[in-house]
Amino acid sequence: MASYNFADGIYTIWKAPNKETLEKIMEDFPVFKKGIVEVVQSYPPTTEYIVRMWEMILAFAQK
C-alpha cells in the first residue's frame, strides 16, 4: 500500500487478511520478510479498526 524511506531502511505497508498469509507470500521475497509487524491502528481510523476495538471492548466486558 505504501513505502517509506528512513535512515535505518525502507518500511513498507501491506494489506493482508492476517499475518500468516503475508508471511506465506513473503517467502518468495525474503528482503521484505525482515520483520513483519501488525498495524492495528491508522489515522484516520478505518472501519476495521473501529469494529476490532469494539470487539475487544466487548470481550473484556464479558470476563
Q: Is the peptide bond between 30 and the residue preceding it cis, with omega within 30 degrees of 0?
A: no
Q: What is the pLDDT of residue 3?
A: 66
Q: What is the pLDDT of residue 40?
A: 67
Q: Cell match 513473503: residue?
A: 26
**Mean pLDDT computed over 9-16:** 76
Annotated domain spans of the chain: 2-61
21-45 pLDDT tens trace: 888 888 887 766 667 777 766 667 7
Q: What is the pLDDT of residue 12?
A: 76
**Identity of the highest mean pLDDT range in 6-10, 15-19, 48-52, 55-59:** 55-59
* Cross-strand pairs, 5: 10
The residue ranking higher by pLDDT, 5 or 60, is 60
